[in-house]
Amino acid sequence: MSTIDNAFDAETLRVLGHRLVDRLADHLRDSRENLEMPVLPWAEPDVSIANWPGDFPAGPDPDPAAFDALLGRVIDGSTHLHHPRFVGHQVTSPLPTAALAEFAGAMLNNGMAIYEMGPVATAMERAVIRWMCDRIGYGNEAGGLLTSGGSVGNLTALLAARQSHAGFDAWTGGASAGPPLAVLSSDQTHYCVQRAVQIMGWGSDGVVAVPVDERFRMRPELLEDAFGRAEGLGRRVVAVVASAASTSTGAYDPLDRVADFCERRGLWLHVDGAHGAAAAISPKYGQLVDGIERADSVVWDAHKMLLMPALVTAVLFRDGARSYESFAQQASYLFEGRDPSEEWFNGATRTLECTKRMMSLELYSTLAVHGTDMFSEYVTGTYDLARSFASLIAASHDFELAVEPDANIVCFRFVGDGLVEDTDLDALQDRLRSRVNASGRFYFVRTALPKGVFLRVTVINPATTGDDLALLLDAIREAAE
Amino acid sequence: MSTIDNAFDAETLRVLGHRLVDRLADHLRDSRENLEMPVLPWAEPDVSIANWPGDFPAGPDPDPAAFDALLGRVIDGSTHLHHPRFVGHQVTSPLPTAALAEFAGAMLNNGMAIYEMGPVATAMERAVIRWMCDRIGYGNEAGGLLTSGGSVGNLTALLAARQSHAGFDAWTGGASAGPPLAVLSSDQTHYCVQRAVQIMGWGSDGVVAVPVDERFRMRPELLEDAFGRAEGLGRRVVAVVASAASTSTGAYDPLDRVADFCERRGLWLHVDGAHGAAAAISPKYGQLVDGIERADSVVWDAHKMLLMPALVTAVLFRDGARSYESFAQQASYLFEGRDPSEEWFNGATRTLECTKRMMSLELYSTLAVHGTDMFSEYVTGTYDLARSFASLIAASHDFELAVEPDANIVCFRFVGDGLVEDTDLDALQDRLRSRVNASGRFYFVRTALPKGVFLRVTVINPATTGDDLALLLDAIREAAE
Look at A356 and B311 and tell me if their CB atoms are within 8 Å.
Answer: yes
Question: Which residue from B minimizes the CA distance to A189?
Answer: B331
Q: Are strands B236-243 and B207-210 parallel, antiparallel or unpaired?
A: unpaired
Type and span of the H or E element at B452:
strand B452-458
Strands (E) across A38-170 are located at: 143-147
Q: Which residues pair with A147 in a beta bridge?
A: A313
Q: Which residues of A touch B172 (CB under 8 A)?
A: 198, 203-204
Strands (E) across A97-216 are located at: 143-147, 181-186, 207-210
- Four-CA torsion B94, B97, B102, B103, nearest 10 degrees: 120
| C-beta of residue B278 within 8 angstroms of C-beta of residue B300 | yes
Once rounded to an integer, what is the mean pLDDT over residues B298-326? Answer: 95
Look at B81 and A108 and tell me if their CB atoms are within 8 Å.
Answer: yes
Q: Which amino acid is at A427?
A: A
Q: Closest Cα partner for A128 from A440, A367, A426, A383? A: A367
The partner residue sitting opposite B20, judged by closest CB among A77, A103, A373, is: A103
Whole-angstrom Cα Rg for chain A: 24
The tens digit of pLDDT for each residue in B162-184 reads 999 999 999 999 999 999 999 99
Sheet with B445-449, strands from edge to edge, namely B399-401, B409-414, B452-458, B445-449
Domain with A305, as residue range(s), is 110-366
Question: Which residue from A minimizes the CA distance to B443?
Answer: A116
Burial class (CB in 10 A: 0-12, 13-18, 19+), A426: middle
Q: How far is CA B407 from CA B119, B132, B253, B417, in A?
A: 37, 19, 12, 29
Report the domain count for chain A.
1
Angstrom distance (rounded) from CA B431 to CA B481:
12
Q: Which residues of B touch A75 (CB under 8 A)?
A: 104, 108
Type and span of the H or E element at A453:
strand A452-458
The partner residue sitting opposite A191, judged by closest CB among B108, B331, B366, is: B331
Look at B91 and A109 and tell me if their CB atoms are within 8 Å.
Answer: yes
> Would the pTM count as exceeding 0.95?
yes
Rounded to the nearest angstrom, the minimum Cα separation between A222 and chain B is: 24
The pLDDT of residue B152 is above 70: yes
C-alpha torsion sign, points A357, A358, A364, A365: negative
Angstrom distance (rounded) from CA A71 to CA A61:
14
- For testing contact with chain B, the best of A11, A75, A107 (most B CBs within 10 A): A107
Q: Which residues of B touch A51 (CB under 8 A)?
A: 120, 123
Q: Closest Cα partner for B75 from A347, A99, A97, A107? A: A107
Look at B170 and A201 and tell me if their CB atoms are within 8 Å.
Answer: yes
Q: Closest Cα partner for A170 from B327, B173, B168, B176? A: B176
Residues 6+ apart with CB under 8 A from B225: none
Q: Which residues of B touch A444 (CB under 8 A)?
A: none
Q: Answer yes or no: is A27 within a domain.
A: no
CA B244 to chain CA mean position, Å = 12
Q: Which residues of B touch A384 (CB under 8 A)?
A: none
Mean pLDDT of chain B, nearest integer? 95
Which pLDDT score is estimated for B348?
84
Question: Which residue from B minimizes the CA distance to A47?
Answer: B123
CATH code for position B170: 3.40.640.10
Look at B352 and A152 and tell me if their CB atoms are within 8 Å.
Answer: yes
Look at A103 and B108 and tell me if their CB atoms are within 8 Å.
Answer: no
Q: Which residues of chain A have pLDDT under 50?
A: 330-331
The tens digit of pLDDT for each residue in B41-83 reads 989 999 999 999 999 999 999 999 999 999 999 999 999 999 9
Look at A332 and B203 and tell me if their CB atoms are within 8 Å.
Answer: no
Q: Which residues pair with A315 in a beta bridge?
A: A145, A299
Rounded to the nearest angstrom, the minimum Cα separation between B354 and chain A is: 7
The pLDDT of residue B337 is above 70: no
Count CA within 13 A, CB hemisphere, residue A457.
35
Which pLDDT score is estimated for B329?
56
My answer on whether omega of the bond before A311 falls inside 30° of 0, hence cis, is yes
| C-beta of residue A52 within 8 angstroms of C-beta of residue A87 | no
| C-beta of residue A321 within 8 angstroms of C-beta of residue A333 | no
Rounded to the nearest angstrom, the minimum Cα separation between B417 and chain A is: 26
Higher pLDDT, A422 or B284: B284
Look at A372 and B58 and tell me if their CB atoms are within 8 Å.
Answer: yes
Which pLDDT score is estimated for B147?
97
- For testing contact with chain A, the best of B158, B369, B380 (most A CBs within 10 A): B369
For residues B158-195, b (16+ Cβ closer than 10 Å) or e, as one string?
bbbbbbbbbebebbebbbbbeebbbbbbbebbbbbbbb
Q: Closest Cα partner for B121 from A309, A438, A312, A439? A: A309
Sheet with A445-449, strands from edge to edge, namely A399-401, A409-414, A452-458, A445-449
Angstrom distance (rounded) from CA A356 to CA A106:
11
Which pLDDT score is estimated for A22?
98
Which pLDDT score is estimated for B346?
82
The partner residue sitting opposite A97, judged by closest CB among B16, B27, B330, is: B16
Q: How far is CA A313 from CA A151, B356, B423, in A?
A: 9, 12, 47
Question: What is residue A423's three-state secondary structure?
Answer: coil
The partner residue sitting opposite A75, judged by closest CB among B61, B108, B117, is: B108
**DSSP secondary structure letters along B174-230:** -GGGS--EEEEEETTS-HHHHHHHHHTT--GGGEEEE-B-TTS-B-GGGHHHHHHHH
Residues 6+ apart with CB under 8 A from B473: B392, B393, B396, B399
The partner residue sitting opposite B40, judged by closest CB among A116, A126, A463, is: A116
Look at A8 and B365 and tell me if their CB atoms are within 8 Å.
Answer: no
Q: Are strands A236-243 and A207-210 parallel, antiparallel or unpaired?
A: unpaired
C-alpha torsion sign, points A255, A261, A264, A267: negative
Which pLDDT score is estimated for A423?
72
Burial class (CB in 10 A: 0-12, 13-18, 19+), B369: buried
Q: Answer yes or no: is B417 within a domain.
A: no
Which pLDDT score is estimated for A409?
98
Q: Answer yes or no: is B138 within a domain.
A: yes
Q: Which residues of B touch A334 (CB under 8 A)?
A: 191
Q: Answer yes or no: is A170 within a domain.
A: yes
Q: Which residues of A touch B90 (CB under 8 A)?
A: 355
Predicted complex: ipTM over 0.95: yes
For residues B44-77, b (16+ Cβ closer than 10 Å) or e, as one string?
ebeebbeebebebeeebeeeeeebbebbbebbeb
Q: Which residues of B touch A67 (CB under 8 A)?
A: 97, 100, 365, 369
My answer on whether omega of the bond before A230 falls inside 30° of 0, hence cis, is no
My answer on whether omega of the bond before B277 falls inside 30° of 0, hence cis, is no
Q: Answer yes or no: is A251 within a domain.
A: yes
Q: Answer yes or no: is B147 within a domain.
A: yes
The tens digit of pLDDT for each residue in B105-145 reads 999 999 888 898 999 999 999 999 999 999 999 999 999 99
Residues 6+ apart with CB under 8 A from A378: A305, A307, A462, B4
Rounded to the nearest angstrom, the minimum Cα separation between A412 and chain B is: 13
The tens digit of pLDDT for each residue in B12-51 reads 999 999 999 999 999 999 999 998 999 999 899 999 999 9
Q: Which residues of A touch B155 (CB under 8 A)?
A: 199, 352
Q: Which residues of B touch A18 (CB under 8 A)?
A: 18, 21
Rounded to the nearest angstrom, the minimum Cα separation between A316 and chain B is: 16
- For testing contact with chain A, the best of B354, B372, B410 (most A CBs within 10 A): B354
Look at B337 and A59 and tell me if their CB atoms are within 8 Å.
Answer: no
Rounded to the nearest angstrom, the minimum Cα separation between B433 and chain A is: 12
| C-beta of residue A218 within 8 angstroms of C-beta of residue A254 | yes
Angstrom distance (rounded) from CA B151 to CA B311:
11
The partner residue sitting opposite A109, judged by closest CB among B310, B333, B336, is: B310
Which pLDDT score is estimated for A334?
55
Q: Answer yes or no: is B451 within a domain.
A: no
Residues 6+ apart with CB under 8 A from B119: A40, A42, A43, A45, A48, A77, A78, A79, B110
Q: Answer yes or no: is A243 within a domain.
A: yes
The partner residue sitting opposite B180, judged by closest CB among A95, A171, A174, is: A174
